[in-house]
Amino acid sequence: MRLEKVETNADVVRSRLAPTPSGFLHLGNAFSFVLTWLLTRHHKGRLLLRIDDIDAGRKRPAYVNDIFDNLHWLGLDWDKGPKDAEDFEFSFSQLKEPRRYAQILEELWKTGALYVCTCSRSQVQAACMNGVYSGTCRHRNLAPDTPDAAWRVYVPENTIIAIPEYSGTVRHVPLAREMGDFVVRRKNGLPAYQVASLADDFHYGSNLIVRGVDLLPSTAAQLFLARLLPPNAFGEVVFYHHPLLRDPDGLKLSKSAGSLSLQALRQKWQSPAPLYRALAEVLQIKSGRVSNVEDLLAAFSPLHLPTGEATLTGLW
């Protein structure tokens, strides 16, 4: 079982909290952060705070501050990464690392798997097949320095990516069907999220990645890219794709659910104790009083990590 592999691995567990400053964080983000923190601390691992701001168009200072406010409120600490918003902008913003991403893009280009695409958003949509890009530019052989063009990676039909899960199971994602020939470099020259995330995971040596099941196609895309690159350790990464938190009506929580923003809950509750009591139930922790994340950690067993539906009862 994979769990034992993580525990007996001589290498220390290295994971990361990777919020995006494109909106105010909500209960679903807290769920993901707490699961990541618990699993990493349980393994006495190292935790990085990595704020993914490569898609800077939607970034606002208020969203960056919101990340720090919520992590402090939740009582979650980290070992590496920015200590506050100023430190983040000064030393850790992804926009400060153009070389790191350019190198990966150059390596990918050398593999011959990339091609240049000049399609506009509406052209892509018009030519879409089953929701993915149809590959119009695949055989045009445009030069990599073509202006106002994106780079895509050719994903052969029937590509299935096997994803090793923390529980010991393996998930299989049909990448071509899910993502098609996805973009790796955007028209503005910046790396796409898949490349920036992968490059940072290389750089920081992540070996345990916790994220929601909605990011399974992204995980598959990143594993696909990692396999195109020269030998690297990304193939050793173990993933825990947790279920998405749902409200009692069975609906997915989303950023649009304003009343469930952590900002609103902070004002309503002052302390995160109600949240941690609800999480104790999801994690099948029955004994004792739980009022903070340390209490949860003391009684936490990875064997009880949620795999099916997750609903926080008693919160609504």
Q: Which CB, 154 or 202, lies closer to Zn ion?
A: 154
Beta bridge partner(s), residue 16: 48
Whole-number Å distance between alpha carbons of 201 and 217? 17
For residue 209, how far is the Cα from the chain centroid?
8
Q: Does 119 sit near Zn ion (CB under 5 A)?
A: yes
Q: Does 136 sit near Zn ion (CB under 5 A)?
A: yes
* Least Å from the CB of residue 143 to Zn ion: 14
Q: Does 305 sit near Zn ion (CB under 5 A)?
A: no
Strand 170-174 and strand 160-164: the pairing is antiparallel
Q: Tell me the window of 13-21, 105-113, 119-127, 187-195 that interacts with Zn ion (CB under 5 A).
A: 119-127
Contacts by residues 170-179 (CB-CB < 8 Å, ≥ 24 positions apart): 171/216, 171/241, 173/216, 173/217, 173/219, 173/220, 175/217, 175/220, 175/221, 175/224, 176/132, 177/130, 177/132, 178/132, 178/217, 178/220, 179/132, 179/155, 179/217, 179/220, 179/221
Residues 6+ apart with CB under 8 A from 298: none
* Least Å from the CB of residue 108 to Zn ion: 17
Q: What share of the chain is helix, strand, coil (3-state, %, to 5)?
A: 45, 15, 40
Q: By rule CB under 5 A, what count of residues binds Zn ion?
A: 4
Could you tell me which of 314, 302, 292 has the C-alpha nearest to residue 40? 302
Q: Does 226 sit near Zn ion (CB under 5 A)?
A: no
Q: Considering only residues 99-118, where is the footprint of Zn ion by CB under 5 A? A: 117
* Least Å from the CB of residue 141 to Zn ion: 12
Out of 54, 137, 220, 293, the residue judged to bind Zn ion by CB under 5 A = 137
Q: Tell me the window of 4-12, 84-92, 106-114, 129-137 that interacts with Zn ion (CB under 5 A).
A: 129-137
Could you tell me which of 186, 114, 181, 183 has the C-alpha nearest to residue 148? 186
Whole-number Å distance between alpha carbons of 308 and 244? 9
* Least Å from the CB of residue 118 to Zn ion: 6
Q: Tell me the window of 136-144, 178-186, 223-231, 242-250 that interacts with Zn ion (CB under 5 A).
A: 136-144
Q: Does 146 sit near Zn ion (CB under 5 A)?
A: no
Q: Which CB, 141 or 313, lies closer to Zn ion?
A: 141
Q: Which CB, 6 or 116, lies closer to Zn ion?
A: 116
Whole-number Å distance between alpha carbons of 158 and 185? 23
For residue 28, give the 3-state DSSP assignment.
Answer: helix
Q: Which CB, 68 or 133, lies closer to Zn ion?
A: 133
Q: Considering only residues 231-260, where is the footprint of Zn ion by CB under 5 A? A: none
* Least Å from the CB of residue 131 to Zn ion: 16
Q: Tell me the window of 78-86, 98-106, 131-139, 208-216 that interacts with Zn ion (CB under 5 A).
A: 131-139
* Least Å from the CB of residue 136 to Zn ion: 4
* Least Å from the CB of residue 283 to Zn ion: 46
Q: Does 134 sit near Zn ion (CB under 5 A)?
A: no
| Tokens (6 digits) for 209 | 């990645």
CB–CB of 15/35 below 8 Å? no
Tell me which residues touch Zn ion (CB under 5 A): 117, 119, 136-137
